[in-house]
Amino acid sequence: MRSAWWVLGALVAGLVVGLLVNTLWTSATWEMLGVMDSKRYLSRAVVEAGKVDPNAGAGVGASVVRVVREGAQFVGEVFVRLLRMMAVPLVLFSLVAAVAGVMRPGRDGDGVASGGGELRRLGLRTVGVFALMAMIAVTIAVLLAVVVRPGAAVPREAREALLAQQSGAAEARIKQFQTFDAQSTAWGQLVDVFAANPFRALADGNMLQVVVLAVLLGIGLTMIDAARRERVLEVVEGVGEAMLALVGVLMRVAWVPVFCLTATITATLGWGVLASVAGFCGVVLVGMGLILVVQYPALLVVLGGGRVSLGRFARAMAPAQLLALSTSSSAATMPVTMQCCDAMALNRRTTRFVVPLGTTINMDGTAMYQVLCVTFLAQLYGVDLSVTQLIGIALMAIVVAIGSPGLPGASLVLMVGILQYAGVPLEGLAIILAVDRLLDMARTVVNVTGDAVATVLVDRDR
Ligand code: ASP
């Protein structure tokens, strides 16, 4: 908990420092330091032979600024990489141990009845809880979009300016989606959940494939000699525990990289852009807020069976939420989410089962975001959506949330598919891209919190 306060302090400090740099550090400041082309200077681009270096006059001051900036980026990136390094093996090991443990005949260490029926119950309950949560989230999103209509209020000039600014980035996403779409039919995408080569699935970090692999491996383990199975499980559980122990150490120093991450992101965000789509950003933030302060607490109270009080839940989840906010990656945050669930004294087996699965397929923030973005762009372009189309968008948003990896900006590529379905011009993605980094932070907090809520709801009967 102490480290959570440090992380919160670092987050706020990073935000303030980043914002100050963003507003006070202008091209005139660079010029004072002898830098005429700051983009070029910061990227350390080599000057072509025969050309004049516009930054030839850059002095020690400019170098120091550049090194500090690079140092901050380095610290943040290494931290996120270390967390992500744990994600794939942790999903594999946790799920293998959880599935094999649940299916083990007799009673497990927590005194819970085990067996194949138990795995089925756990699996069905988990998927049922995920589905219920996602349905509520997209319903709130549709209602918000229809009632507030944020897209109707954007001035035409702002729209054109945003389109021009981000069109390159948007085109890259659209191309990525088209390649993906051309390569696979719906059946093909389903087939793709099964890895022909499990090692490739692990190497590529294809979480859906890793989940299937882990569940099958866990089931396989229950079919072999008991003594042998226990030996394997001991190793699997031991490695998982070792990783979580490392995460514990990482969290003690997390405030440093969190400061670096927040400061570098806010320092480079284009706030001018924000004003023109402030209404949309506001609606997204209100929507995420509604999930966090209405939907989730209501679910915990009504369906949580008094397993965890709201205060305890909020206190225990703070570290994971702060980390989600600063990394925009639920996969990187997953190890900490697990620790937070452990801090709520939930059944370890439930946690090891639900959290990895949730990180992969349970993303209410992402589902809500997809609905809000597509309806916003439809309103902006004057595309009328029928009720059937709205329902279609909501359902597709849930599928996109299932298919998106827990990485920064990951769900934007698949959004192209929904835009296509809704008949909204694809280049509109450019408008969203301008503010996506900021809103990604918010939806990742929801995604991560949702995994813990689901764990509590599933754990209720255990
Ligand atoms: N950044 C989100 C996450 O990691 C995924 C997304 O919606 O882009 O949960």
440 pocket-lining for ligand 1 (C-beta < 6 Å): yes
What is the 432 CA–ligand 1 centroid distance (Å)? Answer: 15
Q: Compare 54 and 320 and report the one with higher pLDDT.
A: 320
Whether ligand 1 lies within 6 angstroms of the CB of 327 is answered as: no
* Structure-block tokens of residue 102: 């649940």
Would you kindly state where each structural domain of the chain is located, as residue ranges? 120-192+241-459
Count other Cβ atoms within 10 Å, centred on residue 32: 12
pLDDT per position as a tens digit, 172-211? 788 877 777 666 777 877 888 899 999 999 999 888 999 9
Rounded Cα–Cα distance for residues 229 and 227 (Å):
5
Q: Is the pLDDT of residue 272 over 90?
A: no
More confident call, 411 vs 397: 397
Per-residue pLDDT averaged across 285-297, rounded? 97
Provide the CATH number for the domain formed by 120-192+241-459 in this structure.
1.10.3860.10
Residue nearest to atom 5 of ligand 1 (CA): 406
Does ligand 1 have an atom closer than 6 angstroms to the CB of 401?
no
Look up the pTM and report it: 0.86
Instruction: Decide: helix, strand or coil at residue 17.
Output: helix
What CA dihedral angle connects 347, 254, 7 and 459, to 10 degrees? -10
Residue 457 · residue 341 · CB < 8 Å: no
**Is 359 a pocket residue for ligand 1 (Cβ < 6 Å)?**
no
Instruction: Identify the weakest region by mean pLDDT among 51-65, 85-99, 119-133.
Output: 51-65
How far, in Å, from the CA of 410 to the mean position of ligand 1?
6
Calculate how far, in angstroms, residue 121's C-alpha sits from the geometric centre of ligand 1: 28
**Does 409 contact ligand 1 (Cβ within 6 A)?**
yes
Taking the CA of residue 412 as reference, the ligand 1 atom at the shortest distance is 8
